[in-house]
Amino acid sequence: MAVIRPRSIVVVATPTAPLLPDLLHALFHTPGLEVTVLTRETTIKVPIPHAHTHAGNGLQNSGNPPTTSWIAHVKTSFAEPELTSLLEGKETLICCLTGIDIHLSPDLIAAAQRAGVKRFLPAEFGLDTGKEEIRSLLPPYQTRFEIQRRLKSSGMRWTAVYSGLMLEEALKENGILGIDVLWASVVVFPHDEKVRVALSSYRDVANAIVDVVVGNGEAHTEVYTAGFLKTLEEVVTAVEKTLDRVVDRYEGTFEGARKEAAERMKLGYFDGGVALMGRVAAWDERVDAWRYLRSESVVERSAGDWEEEVGRVVKGVREGQIKGDGCGC
C-alpha cells in the first residue's frame, strides 16, 4: 500500500499578524499537511495549536492525532542561504507579513523561486489590488501591486485571495466601516444604500486560504471570497442588536476624510490616516470598489450566522480584545 506523504506548507509571518492564530488553527485541523511557520527572531509566542515552539532546527512532532496536521515554528534572520534552504521542498508558501516586515517580500519571492516553491499566496486578504483607484488612495495596496508584479515575473504559480473588508478591522475603533461600537455611533458617507460590501472575519479568510492550499486542479490567480455580503445599514442594525440601543448617525464627506487623513499621517498616525482613506475607497462610487461583486461568483462563508459574527466582534472591541489604531485625534 502506497504511503501518502503530507503536503509541505510554509507560512511566513509577522509574529503579531492578526490573521495568524485563525490561520494556524485552520491548517492544524486540516489533515494531511506538514506546516512550518517562519518568523523573524522574536520573543513573541506564536499561537501554534497543541504544539511546542522551538527555535532553529530543534523541531518536534507534538503527537497530533491523525485528524490534524503537524505544525512547527522556526525563527530565522531571513538571510541567505538559510532562507532558501528553509523553503526547499515546500509546495505552497502562505505570506502573512505585515507592517515593517513587508519589506522582506522581494527577498522572500526570490528565495521561493530558487527553492522551487510551487505556489505563492501573497499577503492580500482585502480589497482588489488590481483597481488603480484603490491603489491611489491606499499606499499599502500599491506595495501589494508591486509584489504581484514580482510574482508575475517569477514563474511561480500564485493566488491572491480578495476577501473584502476584514470584519475585525472594519469594526474596531477608527475602522473602515465608520462604526464606533464604544460610543455607539456611525459616520455615514454618501453612497448607494443598496450597495452590498464584502466582509470576512479572520476565520473566514483562514478557511479560504486552506481551500486554496488543498484545492484540486489549477488554482485561479485571483480568488474572490467573503464571509457575507451586506449593506451598511444591515451591519449597523446587527451592531444595534448587540448593543441593545440605536447608534447615533453622523454624515461624513469624502473631502473632509481626505483632509483629516493627511493631517493624521503628518502627525505620524499612518494607520489612522489609511483607515480614513479606506472609508473613501469603500464608499466613493467613483472608486467602485465592489464592482467585482457584479461579475464574480462570491461564496458567502458565514451567510447563515453573520449576525452572530458581527456580535462576536462588537463584544471583542468593547472588551478590549480587538483594539484600534492610533487615530491622531
- Residue 166, by phi and psi: left (phi above 0), alpha (psi -120 to 50) or beta? beta
Q: Average pLDDT of the chain?
A: 89
CA pair distance 121, 163, nearest whole angstrom = 13
Question: What does the pLDDT read at residue 173?
Answer: 82
Write down the pTM of the prediction: 0.89
Quick check: 95 pLDDT over 90?
Answer: yes
CA pair distance 182, 190, nearest whole angstrom = 23
Name every residue whose Cβ is closer than 8 Å to that of residue 208 and which is 6 or more positions away in sequence: 161, 163, 200, 223, 225, 301
CA pair distance 58, 310, nearest whole angstrom = 41
Whether residue 33 contacts residue 69, with contact meaning beta carbons closer than 8 Å, is answered with: yes
Whether residue 28 contacts residue 49, with contact meaning beta carbons closer than 8 Å, is answered with: yes
How many angstroms from the chain centroid is the CA of residue 76? 23
Give 3-state DSSP helix, strand, coil % of the chain, rounded to 5: 40, 20, 40
Highest mean pLDDT among 6-15, 37-46, 52-61: 6-15
Whether residue 31 contacts residue 56, with contact meaning beta carbons closer than 8 Å, is answered with: no
> What pLDDT, in 10s, does the model give residues 192-233?
999 999 999 999 999 999 999 998 545 679 999 999 999 999
Q: Is the peptide bond before 49 cis (omega within 30 degrees of 0)?
A: no
The residue behind cell 494531511 is 32
User: What size, in residues, is the chain?
Assistant: 329
Name every residue whose Cβ is closer than 8 Å to that of residue 17 and which is 6 or more positions away in sequence: 96, 97, 98
When computed from its CA atoms, the radius of gyration of the chain, rounded to whole angstroms, is 20
Over residues 90-99, the mean pLDDT reads: 96
Quick check: 53 pLDDT over 50?
Answer: no
Question: What does the pLDDT read at residue 57?
Answer: 38
Query: Quick one: pLDDT band at residue 110, thresholds 50, 70, 90?
Result: very high
Question: What does the pLDDT read at residue 69?
Answer: 87
Over residues 174-202, the mean pLDDT reads: 94
Residue 283 CB: number of other CB atoms within 10 A?
24
Question: What does the pLDDT read at residue 6?
Answer: 86
Quick check: 3 pLDDT over 60?
Answer: no
Question: What does the pLDDT read at residue 66?
Answer: 52
248-251 β-sheet, strand order: 179-180, 185-188, 248-251
Domains in the chain with CATH codes: 7-164+201-226 (3.40.50.720), 166-198+228-318 (3.90.25)
Quick check: 168 pLDDT over 50?
Answer: yes
